[in-house]
Amino acid sequence: MSSPAPAGKRAGPLVTVIVPTHNHASTVDLACRSVLAQSVRQLELVVIGDGVTPEVRAAVATLLGDERVRFIDGAKSSSRAEQVRHQVIARAASPYICYLGDDDIMLPDHLAATLDRLEEVDFTHPLPVFIDRQGALGAHLTDLAEPRCRLWHQHPFRNAVSLTGVGHRLEAYRKLPHGWRETPSGRWSDHYMWQQWFATPGLKYATGDRLTVLKFEAADRTDTTGAQRRAEIVAWLQRSRQPGFDTWLADQAAGAIRRAAIELRLDLDFQTDQFTLVRDAMAEREASLRAELAQLSDRAAEATAETRAIQASRTWRIRNRLVRFPPLSWLSRS
């Protein structure tokens, strides 16, 4: 796979970053500014408004003084504006596409690290580590270079790849059967898209070996206010500017992965133990049923033998003769 022309020799942007947004007015500007602060300067930032609130529109307006920013202010779609995402990519002049959630942050070298990997693969994402509500790091264990991990994602409710941080080659996107499209009800839009990628043959994948985005787990924060979410992100941005932050973050990420691996091993052992108990109980029950069946078979054989003995007796022969005489048939029945 050929590498793109060096940034200095390109007339247009090297990478298009897509930020979908709907109602995160308190965080969308922080997310977008983290894109504009990337070490890779030759970029295009496309903010896709999916029926945004006036507050979101005002927050995005503060970014439009940068010529690299474009805002598509559309009506609310029936899902997550997937068709608009597809249109943006179809018209992109840059060879690479990246994504960011409107309540997450790119660290300054995220795009540089992503583009380095995209020189060798078609689809990549950073180390899948997230920040929980308590500010601790957690991890989703996966490695997209491993075919079994991609197969694991084909289940409709298994996903370890967030939209935030994903990057792919434009030419690879054009090989997909559909691209971004409306997501069926009850499905995650990003995961629905990734399944299409992972089912397309001939593409190469990679999971990053370090954390280059700050992913704030949205499911943990459904009851937090916009001001609280903004304050949390600002605190992390301030921390990220402190000396030694990269080393500290790497240690925290390694700890999160270690804890996730331990939990997975313990859960697997527990499930194995439960399976063994159920299997042994079923085997014991099967043995008991077989014994009961054998006893019933023995009793049936004994009953059959007794019946044959009765039918062969002198009394039974007399009974059969009496049956032929109606006046005495009542006696045969007795």
Structure tokens at 283: 């085997």
Q: Above 70 in pLDDT, residue 6?
A: no
Q: What mean pLDDT is reported for the chain?
A: 92
Identify the weakest region by mean pLDDT among 139-143, 147-151, 218-222: 218-222
CB 46 within 8 A of CB 60: no
Question: How far is residue 54 from each of residues 20, 23, 84, measured CA to CA in Å?
Answer: 16, 9, 20
Q: Which burial class, exposed, middle or buried, applies to 28 when counting CB atoms under 10 A from its CB (0-12, 13-18, 19+)?
A: buried
Q: Above 50 in pLDDT, residue 80?
A: yes
* pLDDT band (50, 70, 90) for residue 3: very low
Q: What pLDDT, on the 0 to 100 scale, is given for residue 262?
A: 93
Please state the φ and ψ torsions of residue 205, each to the nearest 5 degrees: -135, 155
Question: How far is residue 107 from each of residues 34, 74, 99, 131, 241, measured CA to CA in Å?
Answer: 7, 28, 13, 14, 10
pTM for the whole structure: 0.82
314 domain-assigned:
no
* Greatest mean pLDDT range, 116-125, 218-227, 300-309: 116-125
* pLDDT band (50, 70, 90) for residue 10: low
303 domain-assigned:
no
* pLDDT band (50, 70, 90) for residue 268: confident
DSSP bridge partners of 96: 15, 169
Q: What pLDDT, on the 0 to 100 scale, is given for residue 7?
A: 45
77 domain-assigned:
yes
Q: Count structural domains, the chain.
A: 1
Q: Above 70 in pLDDT, residue 155?
A: yes
Structure tokens at 64: 């439009």
205 domain-assigned:
yes
Q: What pLDDT, on the 0 to 100 scale, is given for residue 331?
A: 59
Q: What domain range is 97 assigned to? A: 9-241
* pLDDT band (50, 70, 90) for residue 143: very high
Residue 226: other Cβ atoms inside 10 A: 14
Tell me, what CATH number does 144's domain have? 3.90.550.10
- Answer with the residue of higher pLDDT: 109 or 11: 109
310 domain-assigned:
no
Alpha-helical runs (H) found in the chain? 28-36, 54-61, 82-90, 110-118, 147-152, 170-173, 189-198, 226-240, 245-311, 314-323, 329-333
DSSP bridge partners of 216: 131
113 domain-assigned:
yes
17 domain-assigned:
yes
Q: Above 60 in pLDDT, residue 332?
A: no
36 domain-assigned:
yes
